[in-house]
Structures are given as structure tokens and as C-alpha cells.
Structure 1
Amino acid sequence: MSEKQSTVNLDAAAAGDGQSYAQRYTEAMIPVFGTPQRVLVRGEGVHVWDDHGTQYLDLLGGIAVNTLGHGHPAILSALAKQAEDLVHVSNFFATAPQIELAETLLRLARAPEGSGVFFANSGTEANEAAFKIARRHGGADRPRILALTDSFHGRTMGALALTSKEAYRVPFEPLPGGVEFLPANDEDALAAALAPGDVAAVFAEPIQGEAGVRPLDPTYLQALRLLTREHGTLLILDEVQSGIARSGHWFAHQATDGVVPDVMTLAKGLGGGFPIGALIAFGPEVRALLSAGQHGTTFGGNPLGAAVALAVLGTITEDGLLDHVREVGDRFAESVSALADPRITEVRGAGLLRGIGLSEPIAPQVAAASLEAGFIVNAPNPSTIRIAPPLIITAEELGTFTAALPGLLDTVLANATEGA
């Protein structure tokens, strides 16, 4: 344990009159996240440590956020340098990092001339801006917006209206109206819904992360692009979780020929842990749908966040992480499949966004057992284990989890038998 970590723990105990961090969390925080599993105090590379000094292999990366892991020198350097120069200005002014980041994203997205970027602070905020663009495009003649079943687009009111899970939606109804949900990968249902010609936009995640890491079929994604274009409907792709090299491509939709969205939303991995979101409007006509005064944010595109995001994108390029993510992710999927464990049904996803399908609804228990064994993973649904580790992780590091997985399943099922 480092001297710095020891000092943090001693100070915490003194400040809390002997209470643990967990107790203090319960007393001080609104419990929207439930009881924290651990209190983490330090990170380095692909590992984190809790307030008791226990080390964990971080296979979740803050849910696809910590692109370069913890304490990466490129991020630390960008933070320190930019903080010396300028941390924040209002959006009455522009800054060099903001402009450079917008230009970089447009290039990586292969956006046509006349495209534009709006910066926010999170994925849900980026999707709120996309919702507004959809409304502006639709007007009175196109009041309908389509999203997919098992979608997740955020928890603010507009983004929540696009999220299909009723448990999230029902407590806050009535939500913004006009949103309908279609079954994913059903081309006939899509064609029928678009046929009246009154749909403003279709929202879709190329890889549905919260649904259990379920990629859209490439043929369906192509049909989405073809049919929306035919009907004058915007295609809005939510790449909040699947973007920024997570799939082994800069953006997951780039793996499918012929798919270029009208709008794309980003966040999570863009800042490598620093809060930043973005919306890209493809082409001048879409860009023009939001004009001066129609949307805004105080902190979006601040120079500190933009500088960090530039460092993240630059490091991905310089270190060849796109190839690395594809190779390591494919090797991981192959190694899990090679276990030939009947309790594992499949490995879904791409790159380093993977869902391990289980034959029994025991994923939460497996995630808990993994944590006890020193691995951080999560269960987006009862039968899926999700991994979304830092993109710098090695095949050998991932292999330690693969090797441990059968034993973790044994432990969970043995406990279930004892408790029956």
C-alpha cells in the first residue's frame, strides 16, 4: 500500500469519527445507485484498489469510460498543462482545444463537409440534443420518433423517453410523447413503421450495451440506413458506449459498409474518465437544425475536457489501439468459447465490449463472486456478464479472468444448491 493511500485512509477515518466510507456514503448520498460494492481509492493502469488495500483487475472500466485505464500519463499531462492555461470559459468564447477536438471528431467520423459538433457533459445530454434535432426535423408533419426495444439512451426526461425499459420509465411518466419502440433486427417492422412517412427520426445503438451487449445485425443496420433515407427520416446512432475505439473501430457502425448516420452521439470513453459528451451532425442540412439560442450548456466543450479528449484520441492513434482492441477482444472471445462450458451460451459484442451469455439467470451472483476474486465485471441483465475494460489491457490480463470463470460459476451454483 502506498504512503499516499495510507494517508487517505487515516484522514477518512478521522473525518468520519471512526465510521467507514460505506457508512458515510449511506448517510450522505441519495441512494439512486444502491449500496456501493466497494470504496475505491486508487487506480493504476488496469488495476484499482479499495480502502482496505485490496487490488482488483478492472474489467469494466467505469462502464466503457476509462479508455486508457487509470493514471495514464497522457491524461495526467493534458490535465496539468491545460489547467495551467485555462480551465473554463463561457460559450460566449471559443478555445483552441474545443475547436481542435471538433475537427478531430469530424475527421474520425468521416463526416462530410458542412458537418458540425455540439459538446455536452454526458451521453444523456448528447441524446437530449439529438432529441431536439429530431423534433426540429419532424415539425408538425413528422411527430413520430422510433427507438428499439431493449434500448438505453439515458435517464434525463427526453433520453428516458427513448429508453425502452419500463422500470426506468414508469415512475416518471408522463414523458415526452411521440416515441414508439420497435423490435431490434426486425426489418419488416421497421419498414411498416416508416411507411406512413411521418417519422422524424430513428434512434439506435449499433451495440445495445445495457441489453446485454447485443450488436444489431449488419443487414439490419444497413436496412436502417436505406429505409430512413428513402423516407426522409433521420438516422441517429447512439455510440455513447460503443464509440471511441471500444469495438475496434473508431465508431461501431463503421464496421458495416454503407452506414453513415445523420446524427451520432458520444460520451463515456471520449474523455477517458473526464466528463464530456458530443453530438455530431452529418452534413449542413442536419447541422442547421439547431441554430443560435436553441440549445446550450454551461460546461460542454470546456477547454479542460477538450484537452483531455484530444489526449485520449491521440494516444489511441499513436499506440495503435484500434488493432490492439480487435486482436485482444477476439482472442478473449475465442478463449471463453474454448472453455466449452455448457453454462456459457455465447460471447457477444465486438472488440473490448463483450457480453458473456449464461444458461442460468445467475449473472449478478457471478459478478459478486468475481469481485470477491479480484475482478470487476457487471451484470446488465440476469443472464449476461459484461466486460468493457481499459483498451490498454493485455490478452494475458484478460486471460486470468477466463481461467477463473469456470471456478466462479462452480462457486455460484454450489451456493445456490446449498441455499435451496
Structure 2
Amino acid sequence: MSVSSEWIARGEIHIAATYARFPLVAQRGEGCRLWDVDGKSYLDFLAGVAVNNLGHCHPRVVSALQKQAAELLHVSNFYHIPQQIELAELLCSNSFGDRVFFCNSGAEANEAAMKLVRKYSQQVHGKERFEVITALASFHGRTLGTISATGQDKVRVGFEPVVPGFRYVPFGDIGAMRAALNEHTCAVMLEPVQGEGGVNLPPEGYLRDVRALCDEHDMLLVFDEVQVGCGRTGTLFAYQHDGVEPDIMTLAKALAGGPPIGAAIFREKHAEILGPGSHGSTFGGNPLISAAGVAALKTLLEDGVLENCRAMGDYVRKRLEELRERYSFVTEVRGRGLILGMELSIEGAEIVKKCLAKGLLINCTVGKVLRFLPPLIVTKDEIDEAMGILDSVLQEYK
């Protein structure tokens, strides 16, 4: 029995079976590569589902964690935390925001946003105004509140009744959104690019129209950038592509370069809504995680990572388009920066497994969309290697 098999057998005894795990037992990572406990190397074009934007174990993040771990791991948010303050300053000085609430995950960040929009609207407009419009095919998290916000029925099966107050409309259809408005609507929550829903980009002008609609009806606009923020689309935040600012933005995944973190960013005029006692998080923005966040964010801003993302994103797309021309079952390539989707006319799950066996990590979402999320530091040589593996797998289906 291999070392991997031994670990898998042990895990199946005690780990909750909430994931259909692949037979890979990870041991270490560096840059765009991951090694398992048997010593096999993989090109990681999933990046921990857009967490490892700087690659595995980026030296600046590791150094910040090591230094901070030797000084102070945790202190309550009853007190002021310098590392948290510095991270908040960086986020606000590089975005539309004025204030930050820190937590531990994207779902928690979205919960904070949903609480804020309800409290703000009820305070300004009264208790009858509490509904949030979200998009079909969206994904906002796994808590009871965020599965209620998610526009996919499959995440709610077995957990009904869900939290009331959400209406779903097709992504990109401003007419449908306008038709869904009623006297109860208080906010709109969207992903600027849908990740789990199949790497779906909004039509040109759509986000501007949504912003105008929210302004017209005095509704708050929330952008969920949990997956597409922190450089993934080639700008620090995805909303910057469309020149549209939200009232609230949620982040997580890549914000600390690997360790768990979440954040909700909002404007000064909403600061009093989340006053003392209204919300909290024991571990949110503690010294260790905030130090990693400062290092990760400075690296994104200072080390040419965003420029590389844009250039390599164009190159990956070019290579994927070449494959689309060669294989009739590849129907579309879409995406922005280094979040890219290849839509197929066949199921993609087996292709993902075969790529894994050949040393390439990708995944498949909504059944037929292969999703590529390489670290933003990826090189052309690594892209060529990955595309060679993918090509060899696709040839089996020609």
C-alpha cells in the first residue's frame, strides 16, 4: 500500500464525507507546483480554488507568518491590533471603501454584508424592506444564509426551509432584475464574474446598469469578490474592469496568500450600521492572519503580479482557443485574467481525473465547464506544460 493509500484509508474513518475527494494526499508546495506524500509532482492550475494566487508558500507570506507567530498569535478584538489596522488601511486606500470588517471566510463575509444591507435598509426605509436580489448560477457560501442567497437549487436540497428574503434573476439580464423589484427590495448582490456558476462574465454595461438601478431605488449594491478579487482578473478587484463601485465588497480566499481570512469592505456612511455589538468574529483579523494579509497584498501591488496575470491570462486563453479549434466538443472559452473556463459539449469530470493522473490539477464546474485558476505568478513554460497535458487528455475524446 502506498503512503497516499494509507492516509486516504485513515481519513475515510474519521473525516466527514462532505467532499468527493480526489486520490491526492498533498505534502508540500512551491510556486505553481504541488507534491504528494509519494513524491509525485503536479502543476496546480486550481490554486486551492483561487486561494494560492501567489503560488504555494510565497516567501513573503511565509516570512510574515513566521515572524508574527513568534511575537503574538492571537488577541481578542476587544483590543486594537496593529496588523489588522495596517491591512484595513491597504484595502481602503486601494479600493472604494472606508471601513473593513474582518472574519474567517467568504461565507462569513457575505453574511456580514447581508446583515448590513438589511439593517441599513430597515433603519432608513422601515422593516418591510429586506429582500435581496441575487443571480441564478451564483454562489455565495455554505452557511444557511448564504445557500439561501445562492442562485442554485442544488445547494439547498435537504436544508429547507431556507432563509426568506431572496429573489433570483438571470445573470446579465437587467430587464429581469428591474421586473423583480418590489416594495421589499433593499439590495442587489452579484459576483462581477461568476466562478462556481461556470466562469460567466457580465455583458458589456450590465454592472453599470445595475449600479444605476440601485441608485434609482436607493438600494445597496454588494459585489461578492471572494473568488475573483485580489488580482485574479488582472486588476486588484474585478469591479475595476467595469468602472462601477459597489457599496459593499466581500473578499476571502487569496487575501492572506493561503491562511483563512474574510473581509467585508463598506463606505463610511454605513459604518454606524455595524456599530458595537451588531456583529463580530472571534478570530477575524487576528495578528497572525492579518500579518499574512499585509504581506500578500503588498506583494500583489509591488511585485508585478497583476501585470503578469494579465499577460499570462491572455496567453492561457490563446492556448485554450487553439484547443477549441482542434476539438469539436470544446464549445467556448471565456474568462478574464487568470480565471478561465472551457465549456464542453461532453461531461468534464473524467477529463479532470485524467489530467490529475498526468500531473495537472484543474476542476470542472456545472458539469461541463473546465475551470483554470493557476497562480498569478505562473510562467509561459508552466502554461505550455499544462496545455500539453490537457491536449493529451482531450485527444482521447477526439
Q: TM-score range by the shorter chain?
A: over 0.9
Counterpart in the other structure of 1:278 = 263
* Structure-to-structure mapping, 1:285-304, within 5 angstroms: 285-304=269-288
Q: Which amino acid aligns with 2:113?
A: A
1:235 match: 221
Moved more, 165-174 or 176-185: 165-174
Q: Distance in 2 between matches of 1:41 and 1:163?
A: 33
Is the 8 Å Cα contact of residues 207 and 242 (structure 1) preserved in structure 2? yes
SS of the counterpart of 1:126?
Answer: helix
> With structure 1 as the length reference, what TM-score do the two structures score?
0.90
Is 1:255 matched up with 2:238? no
Q: After TM superposition, list the pairs within 5 Å mapping 1:3-402 onto structure 2.
A: 20-111=6-97, 115-139=98-122, 140-194=127-181, 196-257=182-243, 259-282=244-267, 284-339=268-323, 340-341=325-326, 342-360=328-346, 362-402=347-387
Give the 5 Å matches for 1:405-420. 405-411=390-396, 413=397
- Once the two structures are TM-superposed, the CA of residue 37 in structure 1 deviates from its matched residue by 2.7
In 2, Cα distance between equivalents of 1:370 and 1:382 = 16
Q: Is the contact made by 1:325 and 1:352 (CA closer than 8 Å) also made in structure 2?
A: yes
> In 2, Cα distance between the equivalents of 1:223 and 1:367?
37
Letter in 1 for 2:108: E
SS at match of 1:215: coil
Structure 2 distance, partners of 1:110, 1:128, is 20
Distance in 1, matches of 2:269 and 2:183, equals: 19
- SS of 2:273's equivalent in the other structure is coil
Flag as ranges the 4+ runs of structure 1 deviating above 4 A: none
- Write the letter of the residue equivalent to 1:128: E
Deviation string 1:89-139 (CA, Å, 9 cap, x unpaired) is 00100111100000100111133xxx2100000000000101101211232
Distance in structure 2 (CA, Å) of the matches to 1:207 and 1:83:
35
One-letter code aligned to 2:84: Q
The aligned amino acid for 1:219 is: G
Secondary structure class of the residue paired with 2:70: helix
Contact 1:22 1:36 (8 Å CA) reproduced: no
* SS of corresponding position for 1:171: coil
Structure 2 counterpart of 1:323, which letter?
Answer: E
Partner-residue secondary structure (3-state), 2:387? helix
Aligned-residue offset at 1:197: 4.4
Normalising by the residue count of structure 2, what TM-score does the alignment of the two structures yield? Answer: 0.95
- Paired residue type of 2:382: E
Tell me, in whole angstroms, the C-alpha distance in 2 between the residues paired with 1:336 and 1:170: 35
Asked if structure 2 preserves the Cα contact closer than 8 Å seen for 1:203 and 1:237, the reply is yes
Shift of 1:35: 3.5
Structure 1 counterpart SS, 2:101: strand
Contact 2:58–2:257 (Cα < 8 Å) also in 1 = no
Deviates more, 1:98-107 or 1:381-390: 381-390
Gap regions ≥5 residues in structure 2? none
User: How far 1:359 sits from its partner (Å)?
Assistant: 2.4
Q: 1:267-286: per-residue Cα shift (whole Å, max 9, x none)? A: 0010111001100012x222
Give the distance between the partners of 1:262 and 1:163, measured in 2 at CA: 20
> Is 1:138–1:199's contact at 8 Å kept on the other side of the alignment?
no
User: Quick one: percent identity of the two aligned structures?
Assistant: 42
User: What residue is the counterpart of 1:4 in the other structure?
Assistant: none
Equivalent position amino acid for 1:374 in 2? G
The separation in 2 between residues aligned to 1:218 and 1:83, in whole angstroms, is: 46
Measure how far apart 1:167 and its partner are. Answer: 1.6
Secondary structure of the corresponding residue to residue 184 of structure 1: coil
Q: Distance in 1 between matches of 2:44 and 2:54?
A: 12
d(CA) in 2 for partners of 1:223, 1:396: 40
1:356-390 CA distances to partner (integer Å, 9 max, x unpaired)? 11122x21111111001100000012111111111
Give the gaps of 5 or more residues in structure 1: 1-8, 14-18, 415-420
Q: How many residues align?
A: 392
Distance 1:410 1:307 in 2: 46
* 1:300-346 deviation per Cα after TM superposition (whole angstroms, max 9, x unaligned): 00011000011011111221111110010011101211231222222
